Amino acid sequence: MIFSKIRTYLLPTGVFLFVAFILTMIQLKVEFPMLFFERFLSGGGWIEIFLVASFGAFVANKMQDIKQSAKWRTISWAVFSAWFFIQLMLGILADERFLLTGKLHLPVPAMLISGPLYRGEKSVMTLLFLSTIILTGPAWCSQLCYFGAVDNLMAKGKTSRKSIKNKFLYKHTLLAGVIVVTLVFRLLNVSPLWATIGGGIFGIVGIVLITIFTTKQKRMVHCTVYCPIGTVVNYLKYINPFRMVISMSCDMCMACTSRCKYDALNLADIQKKKPGITCTLCGDCLSACNRNALHYKIFGMKPDNARKLWLFLTISIYSVFLAMGRI
């Protein structure tokens, strides 16, 4: 009894200490005031470190309960996104200290590919994105992207059991299209203004898709079909060893299918005993399975430990981004 009580404190405590350590290093070592509070009040960064580390620990505590995990993933991801867009608006309308660099970037995820391709140089955001893939696989698309939170919120309710038709045809065509158009823009020296307008139109079409298709299908159609970064994540995630698997105890009841907003638990996936390529390891499906057949897997770890390790890494990165993540 007492040991199981202690075990429940391990994950939140680990998240608190790790986040506090990383943010302390940032506060001490980086000359530019990376932490939000520090920009407005000398020493305010220390208050922020305590608040953000505590919030990370709180989210970890809630999400370690399989039954509450989906609810708190949605809430915490929505908080992340709202905080990002509030800072963006305040940066534009009130004070440029709300923006990390003081420079404005288009808040459309596709820019992670097309921005560096158009400019011909690396971007800090792209490096951060790649580091999350190395550490957590697809967590960028389950809890770390400011835009996906909107698709997630709008995909409320039980999804249909039918898979999205021609999903891969659309996904690959859109990814290839974004890369080709960006390279053409660069070769033709299209001005930054027109390139930004192009990126803006791509973002607006995404919002329209969320409004029409995601809400209707109760599945994250924008993220699983339209967003080119989602497609990149679907493949790049395999450089990370975390996996979601379906064990032999599965009796094909299909109860998990309607919980997956990423269209990754269709009949073919369940027959193959592994979720489809669009799985982001979000963990929402775990509570749907009465046979306890869905598991996180990494090396030879027990499923529960593998899940806790994934939550530790994802929520720690989430918290650090929350403390610094602004445009």
Burial of residue 255 (number of CB atoms within 10 Å: 0-12, 13-18, 19+): middle
User: Judged by CB, which is closer to ligand SF4: 30, or 239?
Assistant: 239
- The residue with its CB nearest to ligand SF4 is 148
User: Judged by CB, which is closer to ligand SF4: 20, or 110?
Assistant: 110
CB of 133 to ligand SF4, least distance (A): 11
CB of 72 to ligand SF4, least distance (A): 14
Q: Which residue has the tokens 């709300």?
A: 98
CB of 234 to ligand SF4, least distance (A): 9
Those residues whose C-beta lies under 8 Å from the C-beta of residue 270, and which sit 6 or more positions away, are 246, 250, 252, 254, 256, 257
CB of 220 to ligand SF4, least distance (A): 7
Closest by Cα among 289, 237, 228 to 133: 237
CB of 148 to ligand SF4, least distance (A): 2
User: Judged by CB, which is closer to ligand SF4: 147, or 185?
Assistant: 147
User: Judged by CB, which is closer to ligand SF4: 178, or 289?
Assistant: 289
Closest by Cα among 313, 307, 305, 300 to 285: 307
CB of 194 to ligand SF4, least distance (A): 23
Q: Which residue has the tokens 């389950």?
A: 142
Q: Which residue has the tokens 């709008």?
A: 154
Q: Does the CA dihedral 214-220-224-226 come out positive or negative?
A: positive
User: Judged by CB, which is closer to ligand SF4: 101, or 249?
Assistant: 249
CB of 199 to ligand SF4, least distance (A): 14
E strand or H helix that includes residue 294: strand 294-297
Q: Three-state SS for 297?
A: strand
User: Judged by CB, which is closer to ligand SF4: 190, or 245?
Assistant: 245
Sequence-ordered alpha helix ranges (H) in the chain: 2-29, 36-40, 44-63, 66-93, 111-119, 124-136, 148-154, 167-187, 192-209, 215-217, 221, 228-236, 267-272, 303-324
List interacting residues with ligand SF4 (CB under 6 A).
109, 140-141, 145, 147-148, 151, 223, 227, 229-230, 233, 244, 246, 250-256, 259-260, 262, 264-265, 270, 275, 279-285, 288-289, 291, 293-294
Q: Three-state SS for 176?
A: helix
User: Judged by CB, which is closer to ligand SF4: 164, or 279?
Assistant: 279
Can you tell me the distance from the alpha carbon of 109 to that of 111, in angstroms, rounded to the nearest whole number? 5
Tokens for 185, please give them.
């823009």
CB of 296 to ligand SF4, least distance (A): 8
* Residues listed for the chain: 327
User: Judged by CB, which is closer to ligand SF4: 90, or 255?
Assistant: 255
